């Protein structure tokens, strides 16, 4: 199975280069790049946790606060055995850009703990989550830096984190994290928001490229919170999902897989592997399938110089953060594949996180209908703003370049107004 570390691409260098490139393309002053190339603040902490056998294990936790010119730092917390400082810094940069593209008034942040939650009990994960928040509490705050779920973290983890932070502050501060369960200030639809937002973007991209979604053939990598929700919403739009992989394996059926049944099977078994009604498939075969739309929704550095030449999809919509390496991007551009970048495509999560945070601050909660229609509006607007912006640029720029330029322009203007750069 493709591993994100095998490709030796440093995501932090990639993110820095993307900013530098957009600054150059826009002719912005060099100090805009100097201000944005590193996070405003980066914290690394030792997280001691008592394991079920009574022994103490010390994990490494990170929090990167990239830029807050447009609002408080905002970004998920990832639990993953291979996560490192540069990955967290890169993800925090992409959050700054994503919030600027999506027009939600947040900056960029990201957090992580290097751990393998699959080998930990629920109690150990709870102690780790609480201790992480305790360690990071000096730099967090519901008006300062607001975490959320990411890879291997979920609403339950957010509930523990909100509870721990509220204990430290000695009052309920539900706005400290988003992606919480409904019972403790969560927002209806947050769990599926990134996948639903992605499905709206896929619909808009298909429309822009004159591709009918009815029976459009989809291949999907990753079947976690983002991938599974995307599959379910695409199923409702009439798409045919022919292949899905996760970390344990994959399943393929040229006549289509039932996303609801696959989700149910995955909830029961923990994987899509061996789903009855399909044959085995791996990531490399999945990327090379004859399909209309390819959706990487697992981890970074999956579409590489090795896999990109074999891709046959007409459209790629990035659910994961940083799934395409820069070398692969060049190949996809040459192949005339329309790539909707992560910083636009997966912004449904942070958009509904913003709705959750607004509701927490007002202690007034919206209906499902209100949230759904606001999400759809935001996603459609974000896609069409960037698409129109790209089309008005002279030099055959990609959607990724256009999204970076669009965000950089907003950020540079705000920083100039605040006297942060020239």
Nearer to ligand NAD, 204 or 246 (CB): 246
Interface residue with ligand NAD, options 11, 189, 222, 278 (CB under 6 A)? 222
Strands (E), 187-228: 217-221
Site string for ligand NAD, 138-157 (x = CB under 6 A): -----------xxxx-----
In the set 246, 329, 356, 401, which binds ligand NAD (CB under 6 A)? 246
Question: Which residue lies nearer to ligand NAD by CB, 149 or 278?
Answer: 149
> What interhelical angle do 348-362 and 190-208 show, nearest 10?
140
Q: Which of 299, 331, 339, 344 binds ligand NAD (CB under 6 A)?
A: 299
In total, the chain counts a number of residues equal to: 422
Which SS3 state, helix, strand or coil, does residue 244 take? Answer: strand
The least CB distance from residue 360 to ligand NAD, in Å, is: 17
Q: Is 245 in the site for ligand NAD (CB under 6 A)?
A: yes
What's the token pair of residue 373? 């229609």
Tokens of 277: 């009604």
* Counts of helices then strands in the chain (DSSP H, E): 14, 12
- Residues 6 or more apart whose CB falls under 8 angstroms from that of 3 comprise none
Based on the residue annotation, tell me whether 333 is a catalytic residue of this protein: no
Strands (DSSP E) contained in 215-335 are: 217-221, 240-246, 249-252, 279-280, 293-296, 315-317
2 interacts with ligand NAD by CB under 6 A: yes
Is residue 223 involved in binding ligand NAD (CB under 6 A)? yes
Q: What is the β-pairing status of strands 73-79 and 56-67?
A: unpaired
Residues 159/82, Cβ–Cβ less than 8 Å: no
Q: Report the C-alpha gap between 308 and 420 in whole angstroms.
A: 39
Number of residues that bind ligand NAD (CB under 6 A): 27
Rounded Cα distance between 144 and 326, Å, is: 32
Burial of 26 (0-12, 13-18, 19+ CB in 10 A): middle
Q: By CB under 6 A, which span of 134-142, 293-301, 303-311, 393-401 interacts with ligand NAD?
A: 293-301
Query: CB of 37: closest distance to ligand NAD in angstroms?
Result: 21
Phi first, then psi: what are they for 366, rounded to 5°?
Answer: -85, 165
| Residues of this chain, 334-353, that bind ligand NAD according to CB under 6 A | 346, 349
Among 74, 196, 203, 225, interactor with ligand NAD by CB under 6 A: 225
**Which residues between 174 and 213 bind ligand NAD (CB under 6 A)?**
194
The three-class DSSP label of residue 204 is helix
Stretch that binds ligand NAD, among 61-69, 136-144, 241-249, 410-418 (CB under 6 A): 241-249
> Residue 185: in which H helix or E strand, if any?
none
Least CB distance from residue 309 to ligand NAD, whole Å? 19
Closest separation in Å from C-beta 298 to ligand NAD: 3
Which residue lies nearer to ligand NAD by CB, 359 or 421? 359
Q: What is the bridge-based pairing of β-strands 73-79 and 108-114?
A: parallel
Among the listed residues 89, 98, 110, 378, the single catalytic one is: 110
CB of 14 to ligand NAD, least distance (A): 14
By beta-carbon proximity to ligand NAD, the closer residue of 101 and 412 is 101
Q: Which residue is nearest to ligand NAD (CB)?
A: 224
Count CA atoms within 13 Å of residue 356 on its CB side.
Answer: 33
Q: Distance between CA 275 and CA 279 in Å, rounded? A: 8
CB closer to ligand NAD, 32 vs 230: 230
- Of residues 42-81, those binding ligand NAD (CB under 6 A): none
Is position 319 an interface residue for ligand NAD (rule: CB under 6 A)?
A: yes
Indicate the pairing of strand 315-317 with strand 240-246: unpaired
Binding status of residue 318 toward ligand NAD by CB under 6 A? no
- Which residue among 65, 178, 263, 283 contacts ligand NAD (CB under 6 A)? 283
Instruction: Confirm or reject binding of residue 221 to ligand NAD (CB under 6 A).
Output: yes
Hey, what are 381's tokens?
A: 């607007």
Of residues 23 and 188, the one with the C-beta less far from ligand NAD: 188
Which CB atom, from 142 or from 194, has the smaller least distance to ligand NAD? 194
**CA-CA distances (angstroms) from residue 6 to 238, 248, 282, 301?**
36, 17, 16, 9
- Rounded to a whole number of angstroms, the minimum distance from the CB of residue 266 to ligand NAD is 8
Q: Do residues 382 and 102 lie in contact, with contact meaning Cβ atoms separated by under 8 Å? A: yes
The catalytic residues are 110
Question: By the criterion CB under 6 A, which residues form the site for ligand NAD?
Answer: 1-3, 149-152, 194, 221-227, 245-247, 283, 297-299, 319-321, 346, 349
């Amino acid at each position: 199975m493709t591993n994100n570390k095998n490709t030796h691409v440093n995501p932090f260098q990639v993110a820095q280069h993307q900013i530098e490139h957009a600054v150059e393309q826009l002719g912005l002053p060099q100090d805009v790049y100097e201000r944005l190339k590193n996070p405003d603040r980066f914290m690394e902490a030792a997280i001691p946790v008592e394991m079920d056998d009574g022994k103490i294990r010390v994990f490494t936790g990170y929090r990167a606060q990239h830029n807050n010119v447009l609002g408080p730092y905002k970004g998920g917390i990832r639990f993953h055995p291979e996560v490192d400082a540069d990955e967290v810094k890169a993800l925090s940069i992409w959050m700054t850009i994503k919030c600027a593209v999506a027009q939600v008034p947040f900056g960029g942040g990201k957090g992580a703990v290097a751990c393998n939650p699959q080998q930990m009990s629920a109690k150990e994960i709870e102690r780790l989550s609480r201790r992480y928040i305790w360690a990071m509490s000096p730099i967090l705050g519901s008006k300062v830096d607001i975490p959320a779920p990411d890879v291997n973290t979920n609403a339950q983890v957010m509930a523990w984190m909100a509870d721990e932070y509220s204990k430290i502050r000695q009052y309920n501060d539900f706005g400290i994290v988003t992606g919480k369960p409904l019972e403790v200030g969560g927002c209806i639809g947050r769990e599926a928001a990134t996948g639903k937002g992605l499905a709206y973007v896929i619909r808009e991209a298909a429309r822009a490229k004159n591709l009918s979604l009815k029976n459009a053939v989809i291949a999907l990598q990753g079947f976690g919170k983002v991938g599974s929700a995307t599959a379910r919403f695409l199923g409702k739009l009439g798409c045919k999902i022919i292949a899905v992989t996760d970390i344990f394996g994959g399943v393929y059926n040229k006549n289509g897989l039932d996303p609801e049944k696959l989700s149910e099977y995955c909830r029961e078994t923990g994987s899509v592997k061996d789903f009855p009604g399909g044959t085995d498939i791996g990531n490399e075969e999945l990327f090379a399938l004859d399909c209309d739309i390819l959706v990487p929704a697992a981890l970074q550095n999956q579409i590489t110089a090795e896999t990109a030449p074999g891709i046959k999809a007409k459209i790629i919509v990035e659910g994961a953060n940083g799934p395409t390496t820069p070398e692969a991007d060049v190949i996809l551009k040459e192949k005339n594949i329309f790539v909707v970048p992560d910083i636009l495509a997966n912004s449904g999560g942070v958009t509904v996180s913003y709705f959750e945070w607004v509701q927490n601050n007002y202690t007034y909660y919206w209906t499902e209908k209100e949230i759904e229609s606001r999400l759809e509006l935001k996603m459609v607007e974000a896609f069409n703003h960037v698409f129109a912006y790209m089309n008005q640029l002279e030099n055959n720029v990609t959607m990724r370049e256009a999204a970076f330029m669009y965000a950089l322009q907003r950020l540079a203007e705000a920083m100039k107004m605040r006297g942060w750069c020239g």
